[in-house]
Structure 1
Amino acid sequence: MRFARWIGADGVVVDGIVADVGGIDRLIAFDDGMTVLELTRRGLAWALEYGGAVQGNRADGAPDAPTVEQVQLLPPIEPPSVRDFVAFEEHVEGVVRSVGGDGGGGVVAEWYEAPTFYFTNPHSLIGSGQRVSPPRTTRLDFELEVAVVIGSVPGSDGRDLDARSAAAHVFGYTIFNDWSARDLQSREMQVRLGPCKGKDFATTLGPWIVTADAFEDLIDADGFLPLEVEVEVNGVRVGRDLLSNMGWPFAELVAYASRDSRVVPGDVLGSGTTGNGGCLAELWGRRGALDPAPLVEDDVVVMRAERIGEIRNVIGPVPPERPIAPARARSRSRTRALVA
């Protein structure tokens, strides 16, 4: 089942399901105040039953429901938090050369020890079809990812999960595009903190959440999900990979996130950028040149993931920048000077 959010005809945000009606994807709104976030709090089994009832009750009226093309899609959930992992070895190999400054391009030993993630900005999420408002950057980049959305499980508070119990917390999957300003990211990471401002201006989620039951037949014995994913810029394919090339399956990413902490319903956890051209920076690092060129205004980026769908965004203009002064030289005094 597919759950989505969009802007209705009256400008109000609407939560609902995406239903195939006569071969056309139509959007059927929840009419009782239900939200996608609340569905994750009720759990996957309850959400599937509820969604089936909504679709069944609206069967006669569904042909009049708007199509996906007639509305502005929003991120399919308002998540409490967003974590983004770096789980593809091939991605790391290329990116450290162009962003991390490692001339050898090697993957550090620490990467193999545990799945690493950072928290990104849940307030800068955008939907498929929305324009990207980038910062002042000369190296704008995309990142092809798939994310899981967490759902509740009876008797679990999402704390200190093992991989098996973590897998039960996977409510569904969505495409995740972690837009990146690589020059800002490179500067920040020289301070050994971040990435922050190089990342938090926009992240695309969408086009909807596909519930976990739709992928059960594809998950292999080790928990990996071999979905085909690809990205194109202005109609030219730049990257293509299998999601199962991750170093860890999603269940282990969720379990690690919950260690000494919690994952809660609605949390979004990105896979990290895929290899084989999942972002431009990987290719820049491998080729030693900005080839393909960084993204610029009016470029169109399309990402597709098997059984999920596609997201499409156009790069917008750079808004005016309000400068911040450099750090001031200070005395490091330990007492306050008296004021006459």
Structure 2
Amino acid sequence: MVKIARWNDDGGTQSGFVEGGNCYALPPEHTVNTLLEAGLAEALRLADETVGSAPPVPLAGVTLLAPLVPATIRDFVAFEEHVEGVRKSIDGAAGVVPEWYEAPTFYFTNPHTVTGTGEVIGIPAGCTDLDFETEVAAVVGRVPGSDGRNLSAADAHRHIFGYTILNDWSARDLQRREMKVSLGPCKGKDFANALGPWIVTADEFEDRHDAEGFLPISMSVQVNGEQIGQDLLSNMGWPFAELVAYASQDSVVKPGDVLGSGTCGSGCLAELWGRNGSQTPPPLTTGDVVRMTVEGIGTIENTVGSRREAVTRVAARPRPRNRTVQPASAGS
């Protein structure tokens, strides 16, 4: 299995491959992002070369980082069960809107606040309802001869370089307020996204796709050792190839873009709150440990840190409703 990672050790930040409990660093001129630019075939060639020549560094002795610095992050909402449960929790509505079935929907989130497994995730200012979201993300790589625009699903499938786990951390109380303005979420999702522990290259999953292109691999999440949710990635409404193709329409996908599946069924607290009619299980608090495992990829784990105490809201300035320019006063 080819696993592409970034890590810190005594030599600083390294990029390379993980195999058999060891890390093998690429030469300094290469990073994970240059592998994505080179494309999957060249990355696999470099993996063979590097593992065969670079000195092994025990995985247990390094600190894994987020496996890439994303160019963009598009996060979809592709699981019907999640949509049904979380809508009731966020805005009190029941069911799934008809528009969800018409096309996959996504929002852009912040690539600058990406974290890796093992990192502490602070609670943002003003948040009391901290939540997680259990997702898989596809990472885009270069395909020779393609500019990544207006892709068919078949062509989009070739642009999927590999897969990683995504935890889309969510401040649900901030999100509820923002969604009422019909242009959100923003600060409810802006503070952290965890990726990792590495990228598993797409060739490792080729024989696992079903006839419709879905991946029937298991996803699960635990809080403090207690399982909260479990689902199959194949319960998405669309396979990843169709998500990538849709993102490319009248637009472009580029190497280093990350596309999240959205939260799997039972993969977050807010969905369970909507179904249970109460905040059961309770929101995350300082010291809680969230552990996500995806079959064929691995596990990421993060601890919740302290809350930042600050006032971040700024009230709008009342404005008069004049629609014309007022005449200047005499003598001005």
Contact 2:166-2:193 at 8 Å conserved across structures? yes
Indicate yes or no: 2:132 matched with 1:162: no
Indicate yes or no: 2:129 matched with 1:129: no
Q: 1:197 aligns to what SS in structure 2? A: coil
Q: Greater shift after overlay, 26-35 or 203-212?
A: 26-35
The structural deviation recorded for 1:51 is: 1.1
Q: Is there any run of 5+ residues in structure 1 with no aligned partner, and where?
A: none
Instruction: Give the Cα–Cα distance (whole angstroms) in 1 for the partners of residues 314 and 229 of structure 2.
Output: 39
1:212 equivalent in structure 2: 202
Instruction: Give the Cα–Cα distance (whole angstroms) in 2 for the partners of residues 318 and 153 of structure 1.
Output: 43
Instruction: Give the Cα–Cα distance (whole angstroms) in 2 for the partners of residues 52 and 336 of structure 1.
Output: 73
Indicate yes or no: 2:298 matched with 1:309: yes
Change (3 A) 1:192 1:27: same
- CA deviations on 1:232-282 (whole Å, 9 max, x unpaired) are 00000000000000000000000000000000001000000000x200001
Give the % identical residues: 57
1:66 equivalent in structure 2: 58
Q: 1:316 aligns to what SS in structure 2? A: strand
Alignment match of 1:319 (pick from 285, 291, 308): 308
Contact 2:9-2:61 at 8 Å conserved across structures? no
The structural deviation recorded for 1:76 is: 0.4
The structural deviation recorded for 1:128 is: 0.1
Change (3 A) 1:168 1:335: same
1:300 equivalent in structure 2: 289
2:234 equivalent in structure 1: 244
State the one-letter code of the partner of 2:53: N
Instruction: Give the Cα–Cα distance (whole angstroms) in 1 for the partners of residues 43 and 143 of structure 2.
Output: 12
Alignment match of 1:140 (pick from 130, 141, 145): 130
- CA deviations on 1:280-299 (whole Å, 9 max, x unpaired) are 00100001000000000000
1:41 equivalent in structure 2: 37
State the one-letter code of the partner of 1:66: P
Instruction: Give the Cα–Cα distance (whole angstroms) in 1 for the partners of residues 13 and 320 of structure 2.
Output: 52
Change (3 A) 1:107 1:53: same
Instruction: Give the Cα–Cα distance (whole angstroms) in 1 for the partners of residues 162 and 312 of structure 2.
Output: 41
The within-5 A match list for 1:9-28 is 9-10=10-11, 12-20=12-20, 25-28=21-24
Q: TM-score if structure 2 supplies the norm length? A: 0.96
Q: 1:216 aligns to what SS in structure 2? A: helix
Q: Greater shift after overlay, 329-338 or 265-274?
A: 329-338
Q: 1:157 aligns to what SS in structure 2? A: coil
1:6 equivalent in structure 2: 7
The structural deviation recorded for 1:73 is: 1.4
Instruction: Give the Cα–Cα distance (whole angstroms) in 2 for the partners of residues 336 and 303 of structure 1.
Output: 60
The structural deviation recorded for 1:71 is: 2.2
Instruction: Give the Cα–Cα distance (whole angstroms) in 1 for the partners of residues 167 and 261 of structure 2.
Output: 10
Q: Is there any run of 5+ residues in structure 2 with no aligned partner, and where?
A: none
2:71 equivalent in structure 1: 80
Q: TM-score if structure 1 supplies the norm length? A: 0.93
Q: 1:291 aligns to what SS in structure 2? A: coil
State the one-letter code of the partner of 2:4: F
Contact 1:134-1:202 at 8 Å conserved across structures? no
The within-5 A match list for 1:197-236 is 197-236=187-226
Instruction: Give the Cα–Cα distance (whole angstroms) in 2 for the partners of residues 338 and 130 of structure 1.
Output: 59
Instruction: Give the Cα–Cα distance (whole angstroms) in 1 for the partners of residues 9 and 325 of structure 2.
Output: 59
- Name the count of aligned residue pairs: 327
Q: Greater shift after overlay, 88-97 or 29-38?
A: 29-38
Instruction: Give the Cα–Cα distance (whole angstroms) in 2 for the partners of residues 100 and 251 of structure 1.
Output: 31
Over the aligned positions, Cα root-mean-square deviation in angstroms equals: 1.4
- CA deviations on 1:40-96 (whole Å, 9 max, x unpaired) are 1110001000111000112xx32xx132x3222111011110000000000001000
Instruction: Give the Cα–Cα distance (whole angstroms) in 1 for the partners of residues 202 and 96 of structure 2.
Output: 32
Instruction: Give the Cα–Cα distance (whole angstroms) in 1 for the partners of residues 89 and 95 of structure 2.
Output: 12
- CA deviations on 1:9-51 (whole Å, 9 max, x unpaired) are 14x321111111xxxx211111232011111111000100011
